[in-house]
Structure 1
Amino acid sequence: MSEAPPPVIETAVKGACPRCGAPSLFSGWVKFADRCPSCGLDYSAFNVGDGPAAFLTLIVGTIIVVLSIWLELAAEPPVWVHLLIWPPLTLLLVIFSLRWAKGALLALEYRNAAREGRLKDPEA
């Protein structure tokens, strides 16, 4: 293939195929399509697992904790304000960024030729 694959960011944001760049990575909000209709890349061969959700939980959780501590120290609002702001914001950030995280992880797996385990131990 003479054309370079699209950048990981483009694949993640646009839901593009990591091989040809066609916008065919997802068949639902966060569900991968079976394969790319343009180049035939089999998306089911990749396994991003729970990695995107775990990364997002740690990243978004850190951001929310820092912001909530900052708000508490700066304004000292009542507890109900924290309960009104942080749980919905956390949920929205995780849900809306999950698609991008899954797309980026699949693109990185494709780009780095990552595979599950080994077929044979080289020292056996």
Structure 2
Amino acid sequence: MARDVSPITAGLRCRCPACGEGPVFKSYLGLAPYCTACGADFSKADSGDGPAFFVMFLLGILIMPPVLLVQAVFQPPFWVHLILWTPVIIVLALILLRPFKSLMFALQWKNHAEEAQWSDKDEEGQ
């Protein structure tokens, strides 16, 4: 009996989107070729730049209010902002990138998304 795995839960936990058990990654951002728990094939997985875009977008939303608050309250020079916020942004990006990549992969898996391909049939229909 097949389990219905939530792509959100599996993605954020960096687990296999098919069974919810095996790890998705073999290295920090390198996807495993297959699931060690159920054997699902991950070889065609490609999340592209989506995870990086969403992480940058989210970090912009999360970081700007504290940056503006620090500026309004303390009015520090630019170099203080640079020293203060650069490590925060880098650390948060490194923490968020892995689960976001796994989440994008899990959503692609759930929706059977594939890369767009050109074929002769597409050209004949025009």
The change in CA–CA distance for 1:39 and 1:122 in structure 2 (over 3 A counts) is farther
2:100 matches 1:105: no
Percent identity, please: 33
Report the equivalent of 2:13: 14
- In structure 1, stretches of 5+ residues that fail to align are none
For 1:23 and 1:42, the matched residues in 2 are separated by 12
TM-score (norm 2): 0.85
RMSD: 1.9
Return the letter of the residue paired with 2:13. Answer: K
Contact 1:12 1:104 in 2 (8 A): yes
Aligned residue pair count: 123
> Which residue of structure 2 aligns with residue 3 of structure 1?
3
Distance 1:74 1:123, change over 3 A: farther
- With structure 1 as the length reference, what TM-score do the two structures score? 0.86
**d(CA) in 1 for partners of 2:89, 2:105:** 24
What one-letter code is carried by the residue in structure 2 that aligns with 1:28?
A: S
Measure, in 1, the Cα distance between the counterparts of 2:11 and 2:37: 18
Q: Distance in 2 between matches of 1:82 and 1:59?
A: 19
In 1, are the aligned partners of 2:22 and 2:38 still within 8 Å (CA)?
no
Letter in 2 for 1:121: D
Q: Does 1:53 align with 2:52?
A: yes
State the Cα deviation string for residues 10-35 of structure 1 (Å, max 9, x = none).
22232110001113201012211011
- Cα distance in 2 for partners of 1:110, 1:98 equals 18
After TM superposition, give the deviation of residue 85 of structure 1 in Å: 1.1
**Stretches of structure 2 lacking an aligned partner (at least 5 in a row):** none
Offset of 1:122 from its aligned partner?
A: 9.1
